[in-house]
Amino acid sequence: MTVRRLYTVVEETLHDRGQIRDEPLRKVAVVAVINNPFAGHGYVEDLSALTDASVELGTKIAEMGASQMAPYTVDSYGKAALIGTAGEQEHGVACLTTVYGNVLRDAVGGGKAWISSMTKRVRPGEHVDIPLAHKDALFVRSHYDGMTIMVPDAPLEDEICVICCFANRGRLNHRVGGPSKEDIVGNDGLR
């Protein structure tokens, strides 16, 4: 797997609708634009080459993303893959399996909840909405959020954009109930 480009987006929201909070909402996405070894080859049963390579790649981009969160810690995470038109959606899914998720968890000091994800085939420059949820408890509604990004020249038809995304807190103006961050038990990844 060859990385053509690394792309990092940092977004920091200081207030929303005039409601200033003690801590801004920082979101970070790191994108690795890689070649797709299966692009243009029709259906291929075994995609383990992408899954195996996602460990090293995931470690690199997750560590980059976690470092961009400073001085904050990561509260929520998400992942995505954009697949060029000569590939298939499953090529991106193969890059985002459990082994990739585990290195994301390692980079942020752990996480019990499953990691929300999005994959789709696109042309270069199309947007993706990366879903975010709390890293330890999926039912914490304040952290249901997302980050929209695009990479201006990627993915080319024979590439995949592998993406990790982190946030330091829930939405700034959360007020619709549900368990709060303070209520997390942390046993099952749900509560």
Question: pLDDT tens digits for the chain (191 residues)?
Answer: 799 999 999 999 998 887 778 899 999 999 999 999 999 998 999 999 999 999 999 999 999 999 999 999 999 999 999 999 999 999 999 999 999 999 999 999 988 898 999 999 999 999 999 999 999 977 888 889 999 999 999 999 999 999 999 999 999 888 787 767 766 667 776 75
Q: Does residue 187 come out as left (phi exceeding 0), alpha (psi in the -120 to 50 range) or beta? A: alpha
**Cα–Cα distance measured from residue 162 to residue 82, given in angstroms and rounded to the nearest whole number:** 7
Residue with tokens 């383990």: 48
Number of residues assigned to the chain:
191
By the 10 Å C-beta count (0-12 exposed, 13-18 middle, 19+ buried), 4 is classed as: middle
By the 10 Å C-beta count (0-12 exposed, 13-18 middle, 19+ buried), 63 is classed as: middle
pLDDT for residue 139: 80
Residue with tokens 């909070």: 21
The pTM (predicted TM-score) of the whole model is 0.93
Phi, psi of 82 (to 5 degrees): -110, 125
- Amino acid code (one letter) for 28: V
pLDDT for residue 95: 97
Cis peptide bond prior to 71, omega within 30° of 0: yes
pLDDT for residue 184: 67
